[in-house]
Amino acid sequence: RKEVEQDPGPFNVPEGATVAFNCTYSNSASQSFFWYRQDCRKEPKLLMSVYSSGNEDGRFTAQLNRASQYISLLIRDSKLSDSATYLCVVNLMNTGNQFYFGTGTSLTVIP
C-alpha cells in the first residue's frame, strides 16, 4: 500500500469554479503535511503547509483530518494559472524521517 494516495484526475474545471482535492495517508504517526504545486516539466514548489487547525492563503484552503487520515485542498475562483499538478506530501518521522509524495492530481482550468 502506498504511504500517500491521491486521485490522479484529471480535473477539468471552468474558470471561476471551486475544486477540491483529497489525499489519504496510511501512517497515523505522520507529523507534517504539505501541498506542492508542479507545472508541466518543472520542479515542485511549495503551495502551502497544512496545519491541524486548517489554514487559508487567499483562494486556497487546506484542511487536515487526523482521525480519518486525509488532507484536502480547496481552490476557489479557479484561474487559468492554477492549471498544474498538485502533490500531497507527508512526513513520516518514525520511519527514517522522510517525505512521501503522492503521485499528484492534475488540474486544468478551462476558459
Partner 1 sequence: NAGVTQTPKFQVLKTGQSMTLQCAQDMNHNSMYWYRQDPGMGLRLIYYSASEGTTDKGEVPNGYNVSRLNKREFSLRLESAAPSQTSVYFCASSEWGWTDTQYFGPGTRLTVL
What is d(CA 62, CA 72) in angstroms, rounded to the nearest whole number?
Answer: 6
Phi, psi of 42 (to 5 degrees): -120, 175
Least distance in angstroms from the C-beta of 111 to partner 1: 28
Closer by beta carbon to partner 1, 21 or else 34: 34
**97 in contact with partner 1 (CB under 8 A):** yes
**What's at 76, amino acid-wise?**
R
**40 in contact with partner 1 (CB under 8 A):** no
Least distance in angstroms from the C-beta of 65 to partner 1: 20
Q: In the range 43-72, which residues lie near partner 1 by CB under 8 A?
A: 43-46, 49
Residue 36 is classified by DSSP as E
Q: Which residue has the cell 484536502?
A: 72
| Start-to-end Cα distance in the chain | 38
Least distance in angstroms from the C-beta of 106 to partner 1: 12
